[in-house]
Structure 1
Amino acid sequence: MSATTSTALVLARRIGIVLLFVVILLRPGFGRAEVPTQLSDVDVIVVIDRTRSMAALDYEGKLPRITGAKADLTALAEALPGARFGMLAFGTDARVVLPLTSDSAAFGAAVETLYLEKPKDGIGSRADRPVPELKDLLERSAEQAPQRRRIVVFVGDGEDTTSEGTDESYADVADEIAGGAVLGYGTTQGAPMPEDDDLTGDLGFVQDSTTGDTAQSHADLDNLEKVADELGVPFEHRTRPGGLDDLARSFKASYSDGSGGHDRPAKHDLTWLAGVLLLALLLLELHAGWRAVWASRHVLAPRKGALR
């Protein structure tokens, strides 16, 4: 083999190694395969308070209430794999921020990116404000998937900051759900609310417009218990992370293992083939390297009879 041909083969081999590394990172595939997945029969609708009072610093000491709420929702989603989750946020108004979905990543993103209203947004809030939107969401879920069980998880501090609006009752939707919970955050003693969006307090705290003093938000646990009674679900005052596994089990979700038409489509993965080819090229490269080492040792070794 000529030196030119040998050099070309070495270059081609090394280019092949680089290209195969890229192919493996891209995870190639073709067609569609059926991948079993665990599916639940539960739809969990989270009704969450996004008013400024959820920034008050009285969760687990001096953390924002919303920090505890987000941690609990993340833990609840992990404890209910395969369930569909949706989110209805309320403050000055109430709106669906995430339709029901089995995409856990989408729910996680909705939780993580949920933002609170600014201190001077709107005219105040009420814990019963989302009832009409919740009723509509439950009815649409029942029409689309009547076989599924609907769960409502209310998340908030129960503080009403206005008397304006129509009185609503969660009892109007109690017959449409199979269970749920009211998770309450904050203390009745109250705490200040950071002014900045990052909730660090670097820009100071929300001020009471009537007195000019630092405003205090007081959780209304009685109001939260009233919401729980109307829904017919338990109330839990959340003061620290953890302990949600029992709550998740109380929803009594049943699961399918992917059989009976519940498989998830996916591509036939060809990454293994690229890996085999890469291994072969790397072995050739190592073999060539060892040959070069042994050849250099032979050339440099002193010959018999050579002068010392």
Structure 2
Amino acid sequence: MSPATAGVLVVLRRVGIALAFVAVLLRPDVGQTSVSEQLSDLDVLVVVDRTRSMAALDYDGRTPRITGVQADLTALAKALPGARFGLLAFGAETRLVMPFSSDTTAFDAAVETLYLEGPKDGAGSAADRPVPELTAVLERAEDQSPDRRRIVVYAGDGENTTGSDEDPQSFEDVRDLVAGGAVLGYGTSEGGPMPESDDLDGALGYVRDPETAETAISRADLGNLEKIADQLDVPFEHRTAPGGLAPLAKSFAASYSDGQGGHERPAKHDLTWLAALVLLGLVLLELRAGWRAVWTSRDALLPARPKGARR
């Protein structure tokens, strides 16, 4: 093979490596197919307290309460594949962060990016604040999908610090709209300080009591959470560390269908493996050529043997 031809082959091989690498990154696909999807009959509506008290450092040692909530909800979504999850967050107001969806990746992202109210936002904690919106969301879900079972998971610390003289709203009206659920409590009765900074690292100090100027201590009201659980007729679980949610998920008794009854999602034939195979072959050829070049250079640099020298 002439040097010119060899040089052209080297260039073509390296261009091929670059193109194959780009193809792997782009994940090429062709055609159309259907993939069976495991579906559950559950709609899980998660209600999360996002008031500043959820920043208190009394979960699993000195971890923010909201960190425990995020870990538990991610684990719960993983334990209930195929279920539809919705997220309702409450503070000064209640809002539907995410409507019911079987996209657990989107749910995990919504949970991970859930932010707490600032130290001076809102008007105190009220554990019953989400009742009206919770009722409305469940009633809409019942109208739209009467054949599905709805589960409510309430996650909070139970604090009531608004100073209101009004009787708290009851969750009893919600009970008839759900087939089960749980109340998950975070924090301790001894309480903990609340970091001032948004990232909850304590770099800006801690929230202070406006009346005393001392570090404010948020104390969970576990008794109030037990009352909410009784009104909903669901179990209460005091969460003090990650893990251990498998029995709770199992108690929801989800039933599944594997893509039957038209439950299939469209998909394409993935050709990434083919591009990766081409890339591997070209890289191996490049390594072989490089290794041969090294040995050729080594032989060229060795001193010539004198005539008559013994081998």
TM-score by length of 1: 0.91
On the 8 A contact 2:53/2:125 being kept in 1, the answer is no
CA distance in 2, matches of 1:305, 1:190: 90
Deviation for aligned residue 1:202:
2.4
CA distance in 2, matches of 1:159, 1:41: 33
Deviation for aligned residue 1:189:
2.0
CA distance in 2, matches of 1:197, 1:128: 25
CA deviations 1:97-154 (Å, max 9, x no partner) are 1111111111111111111111111222311111111111111212222221110000
Letter of the 2:224 counterpart? N
**Aligned CA distance change for structure 1 residues 166 and 288 (closer, same or farther; 3 Å):** same
State the partner residue of 2:63. 63
State the partner residue of 2:178. 177
With 216-225 and 42-51 compared, the bigger mean Cα shift is at 216-225
1:190 aligns with 2:191: yes
CA distance in 2, matches of 1:198, 1:301: 64
Deviation for aligned residue 1:71:
1.3
CA distance in 1, matches of 2:156, 2:258: 34
**Aligned CA distance change for structure 1 residues 168 and 273 (closer, same or farther; 3 Å):** same
1:233 aligns with 2:252: no
CA deviations 1:8-33 (Å, max 9, x no partner) are 12211221122112111221002322
State the partner residue of 2:37. 37
TM-score by length of 2: 0.90
Letter of the 1:74 counterpart? T
**Aligned CA distance change for structure 1 residues 296 and 98 (closer, same or farther; 3 Å):** same
**Aligned CA distance change for structure 1 residues 293 and 190 (closer, same or farther; 3 Å):** closer
CA distance in 1, matches of 2:303, 2:204: 78
CA distance in 2, matches of 1:293, 1:199: 56
With 233-242 and 283-292 compared, the bigger mean Cα shift is at 283-292
**Aligned CA distance change for structure 1 residues 164 and 22 (closer, same or farther; 3 Å):** farther
1:266 aligns with 2:267: yes
1:83 aligns with 2:83: yes
Aligned positions of 1:157-176 closer than 5 A = 157-162=157-162, 163=164, 167-176=168-177
Task: In structure 2, list runs of 5 or more residues that go unmatched.
Answer: none
Deviation for aligned residue 1:60:
1.8
CA distance in 2, matches of 1:216, 1:305: 91
On the 8 A contact 2:59/2:187 being kept in 1, the answer is yes
Deviation for aligned residue 1:182:
0.3
CA distance in 2, matches of 1:303, 1:52: 82
1:224 aligns with 2:203: no
CA distance in 2, matches of 1:193, 1:305: 85
**Aligned CA distance change for structure 1 residues 164 and 291 (closer, same or farther; 3 Å):** same
1:212 aligns with 2:230: no
State the partner residue of 2:54. 54
Counterpart secondary structure, 2:63? coil
Between the aligned residues of both structures, percent identity stands at 66
With 288-297 and 171-180 compared, the bigger mean Cα shift is at 288-297
CA distance in 1, matches of 2:103, 2:288: 48
State the partner residue of 1:94. 94
On the 8 A contact 2:185/2:239 being kept in 1, the answer is yes
**Aligned CA distance change for structure 1 residues 293 and 136 (closer, same or farther; 3 Å):** same
Counterpart secondary structure, 2:57? coil
CA distance in 2, matches of 1:239, 1:301: 72
**Aligned CA distance change for structure 1 residues 240 and 303 (closer, same or farther; 3 Å):** closer
With 296-305 and 131-140 compared, the bigger mean Cα shift is at 296-305
**Aligned CA distance change for structure 1 residues 294 and 58 (closer, same or farther; 3 Å):** closer
CA distance in 1, matches of 2:9, 2:245: 61
CA distance in 1, matches of 2:300, 2:223: 91
